[in-house]
């Protein structure tokens, strides 16, 4: 008897789509009431979005419900972008404690203070977080979560309404809110693991940062950063050189002392520009002197290969005897824009994890742990997989990369 179910419906009538998706998600549960439901709605009319979210929550009758709107939704092996559709995910989680919450940013003497986060309990093992980027300081919150929440893994995505600021709708236990962030903390025998596929392939060697100023990398291995980049690009074939004009990224190693760095060991960040005066590169991360970095390229082939590799590593190292369902948060720059088909990621995740019960949405930024620390990502796929097994009984951890022989 299945513990997870997912439903999907594309329909101009969002309420009708919500009812259909909810019914489909409940079907595998064979009459059992879900402990947790996640509802994702894509549509241009915010009132219709809110009504669809409420109708889906009522239809599934879960003890706890979270959700949001987005430019596209994922479920039942399908995906829809820029059209009216609803995805519903249901989970039966015996003996698991689910605590939903609503976060808001309030003015404080030294900037903003986030209120509404439940106190972490000793057996809290994972959190799912959905945020409105217009009203919630998601980057700062995620960075601080690594210390304030004592390493609690957070997985989720940044919601986005079709009309920009003010059009985001977040769902929480049958109600709708239009600002902040919503989420759920899961405690007890959850049996969940998280991983992030960052969709890049490395080019050139791993190098030490020998001069830097904040997010400006001035020197790599004693050479001006721009000069070192030009040297590496000159060794590439014409196709890769052309790709570098739009798909160039930089990876920051999560373990500077590793004897070997391989794909998946880096936090991928964008390159925003250069400083001609000192030959430096402006990157989307503060990088200190002594850190190890490596240039990366992102395209459809690299993203496909990285997701396949991430799924393989996950199956080998997650410690789950079975995988029964998953939440998938895929960047809105992936889908048809990158792969020419919207359902690329959900198809691969279902096949790679050998499971149904996979749902999620196309996010304006993905939340997930890399090397034990939570980050906000771009152009990635963040996955929270649920299963069972002896190791699973000990709670949640990020899937580790298997040791490399020799």
**Taking the model in full, what pTM does it have?**
0.93
In angstroms, the CA 4 to CA 19 distance is 18
pLDDT at residue 389 in the model: 63
- Shortest CA distance to 36 belongs to which of 65, 61, 8, 7? 65
Classify 167 as helix, strand or coil.
Answer: coil
Number of H helices, E strands in the chain: 8, 27
Q: What is the pLDDT of residues 175-234, one digit of tens each?
A: 999 999 999 999 999 999 999 999 999 999 999 999 999 999 999 999 999 999 999 999
In angstroms, the CA 80 to CA 65 distance is 22
SS3 content of the chain, % helix, strand, coil (to 5): 25, 40, 35
Q: Count of alpha carbons within 13 Å of 6, Cβ hemisphere only? A: 24
Listed in sequence order, the DSSP H helices in 153-209 are none
What's the average model confidence in pLDDT over 23-42? 98
Q: What residues have CB less than 8 Å from 291, skipping those under 6 apart?
A: 208, 209, 212, 252, 253, 256
Question: Treating both helix axes as pointing N-terminal to C-terminal, what angle do 300-317 and 344-353 enclose, rounded to 10 degrees?
Answer: 20
pLDDT at residue 262 in the model: 66
Q: Domain residues of the chain, as ranges?
A: 4-197+303-398, 201-297
Chain-centre distance of CA 59, in angstroms?
27
Q: CA–CA distance from 356 to each of 155, 395, 404 (Å)?
A: 19, 22, 31
- Shortest CA distance to 124 belongs to which of 68, 36, 34, 192? 192
Q: What residues have CB less than 8 Å from 81, skipping those under 6 apart?
A: 42, 71, 72, 332, 335, 336, 342, 362
Q: What is the pLDDT of residues 306-332, one digit of tens each?
A: 999 999 999 999 888 899 999 999 999
DSSP string over 30-88: TTPPPSEEEEEEE-S-HHHHHHHHHHHHHHH--SEEEEEE-SEEEETTEEEESS-EEEE
Q: What is the pLDDT of residues 79-120, one digit of tens each?
A: 999 999 999 999 999 999 999 999 999 988 877 899 999 999
Confidence of residue 406 (pLDDT cuts 50, 70, 90): very low
Instruction: Write out the two tokens for 64.
Output: 């706890």
- Report the run of H or E that residue 241 belongs to, with start and end: helix 238-247
pLDDT at residue 263 in the model: 66
In angstroms, the CA 280 to CA 213 distance is 9
Classify 345 as helix, strand or coil.
Answer: helix
């Amino acid at each position: 008897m299945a513990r997870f179910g997912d439903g999907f419906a594309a329909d101009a009538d969002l309420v009708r789509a919500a009812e259909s998706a909810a019914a489909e998600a409940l079907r595998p549960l064979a009459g059992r009431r879900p402990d947790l439901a996640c509802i994702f709605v894509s549509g241009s009319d915010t009132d219709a979005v809110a009504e669809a979210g409420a109708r889906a929550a009522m239809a599934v009758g879960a003890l706890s419900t979270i959700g949001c709107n987005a430019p596209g939704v994922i479920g039942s092996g399908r995906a829809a972008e820029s059209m009216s559709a609803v995805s519903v995910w249901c989970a039966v989680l015996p003996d698991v404690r689910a605590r939903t919450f609503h976060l808001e940013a309030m003015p404080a003497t030294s900037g903003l203070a986030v209120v509404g986060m439940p106190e972490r309990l000793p057996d809290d093992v994972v959190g799912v977080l959905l945020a409105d980027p217009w009203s919630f300081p998601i980057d700062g919150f995620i960075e601080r979560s690594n210390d304030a929440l004592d390493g609690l893994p957070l997985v989720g995505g940044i919601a986005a309404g079709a009309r920009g600021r003010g059009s985001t709708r977040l769902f929480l236990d049958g109600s709708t809110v239009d600002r902040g962030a919503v989420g759920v903390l899961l405690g007890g025998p959850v049996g969940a693991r998280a991983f992030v596929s960052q969709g890049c392939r490395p080019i050139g060697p791993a190098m030490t940062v020998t001069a830097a100023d904040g997010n400006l990398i001035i020197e790599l291995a004693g050479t001006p950063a721009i000069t070192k980049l030009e040297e590496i690009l000159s060794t590439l074939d014409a196709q890769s050189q052309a790709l570098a004009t739009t798909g160039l990224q930089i990876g920051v190693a999560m373990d500077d002392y590793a004897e070997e760095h391989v794909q998946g060991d880096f936090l991928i960040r964008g390159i925003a520009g250069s400083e001609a005066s000192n030959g430096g590169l402006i990157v989307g991360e503060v990088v200190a002197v002594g850190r190890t970095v490596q240039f990366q390229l992102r395209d459809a082939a690299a993203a496909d290969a990285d997701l396949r590799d991430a799924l393989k590593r996950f199956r080998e190292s997650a410690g789950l005897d079975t995988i029964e369902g998953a939440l998938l948060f895929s960047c809105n720059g992936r889908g048809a824009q990158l792969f020419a088909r919207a359902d690329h990621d959900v198809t691969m995740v279902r096949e790679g994890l050998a499971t149904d019960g996979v749902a999620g949405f196309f996010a304006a930024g993905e939340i997930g742990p890399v090397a034990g620390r939570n980050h906000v990502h771009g152009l990635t796929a963040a996955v929270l997989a649920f299963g069972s097994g002896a190791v699973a009984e000990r709670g949640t951890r990020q899937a580790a990369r298997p040791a490399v022989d020799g």
